[in-house]
Structure 1
């Protein structure tokens, strides 16, 4: 990848999408503590990943490896020469707009496991199919095979919950999605039973307000076939299992069921709250008179996904609202492949 060409494309895309200028330095690495590395097709995408993670102050995109190094405690005026790297800082202080990833990447393949592969006539057809599929987050079209691979990135973020008296947490109503048609999703549920099967990625197993929330996470995941919800611990587990291998075992406290399809997915659980806090990066507290007002602050903030409200049981005269800003944007695994065209619709 040519760093100079990349800078021209990135600068114009930033101005168009986010309306905010940002300095990007070619062939340099910014000093700072690297706390996470993600896959990324270009420096603009890398910068956007950094912008939506509160901890990230600056980034370095390694164009030869298609890796995005996110850094904290960054020294924004300290750089060293590293050919093939592009560095910059977060755009979190810019006016907020939704991130746009409409660029296609010729000669790059996203190698994440596809949930669906179809034969199509062109890359434009592949992009169109991805745009129309609510589960498609990015795609790769192989020109020689005429194969379109659709890839998934979770649509609703998941969190882990910590227990602490006096704290109340919930989700933003902005996460409500219009997916599916017709009747509201329901499914056959097995109480006090656990369906066996290989656990899917641990990242997709964690807290859920109730069994409806857990089922929604499964319905929104094209790889999920079975969900299991532990009532007492509010733990949701998603499984992939073939029908021929499916077995039922008695497990008190669990509710299990299959993924529901061809129905309207429910997001009523977004109105629920839970005692405790979420393990996520959060902003400094804002005074707030009530949980309802705290949720409203989160709903009205375009970057907020979750909130935690501190009552007077947490500490005297607390009444504080914590907003969680991190978003989990698509981060594909990228390799060079001359026969491929990839994109994020």
Structure 2
């Protein structure tokens, strides 16, 4: 009966020491890729939001985000959530139009799970699930905030030029 309790105490101490030694790394690494070790990919408007998603994901320890300047293929705004047994990237490399960083789970200050920021001229084509007519982007944002399935929204103005219909 003493052995399982001793093992549990050791495991708990290890978890505490791991959290302390890893620390809180808020800085984003522009032009750095953490290749491989993907557990999920999602769309995000910027690297800070990708970091927020990583922080909220149960497995994510670090991430790589492909910026609006990504030209190698059509994966602009992709956020790759990553995990390794060590908690650190297996490797790093310099790569243009990417930003990498770490989960903020180990930071003492809690992070907000909802970002009030609005991103002008950003659209995530192909992931629409609902269309609404609203008077302003703030009304659209409110509708998204109150919908539990809504992750982000796109608000189109009267001056929107639809490339599909051209």
TM bucket (normalised to shorter chain) is 0.5 to 0.7
Listed as ranges, the matches of 1:41-190 within 5 Å are 41-63=45-67, 64=70, 65-73=76-84, 75-76=88-89, 78-95=91-108, 96-111=110-125, 112-120=127-135, 122-131=136-145, 133-135=146-148, 137=150, 138-144=152-158
3-state secondary structure, aligned to 1:108 = coil
Residue deviations 1:137-160, cap 9 Å, x none? 3321111268xxxxxxxxxxxxxx
> Larger Rg: 1 or 2?
1
Shift of 1:83: 0.4
RCO higher in structure (CA 8 A, sep ≥6): 2
What residue ranges of structure 1 are gaps of 5+ in the alignment? 1-19, 147-336, 340-345
Q: TM-score, normalised by structure 2?
A: 0.63
Shift of 1:32: 4.6
What residue ranges of structure 2 are gaps of 5+ in the alignment? 1-23, 71-75
Aligned alpha-carbon RMSD (Å): 3.0
**C-alpha separation between the residues in 2 aligned to 1:129 and 1:31?**
37
3-state secondary structure, aligned to 1:51 = helix
How many aligned positions are there?
A: 128
Distance 1:72 1:134, change over 3 A: closer
Residue deviations 1:62-113, cap 9 Å, x none? 1131101111225449421110100011111113344231111111123322
More helix by share: 2
Contact 1:35/1:70 (8 A) holds in 2? yes
Contact 1:32/1:75 (8 A) holds in 2? no
More strand by share: 1
Residue deviations 1:184-234, cap 9 Å, x none? xxxxxxxxxxxxxxxxxxxxxxxxxxxxxxxxxxxxxxxxxxxxxxxxxxx
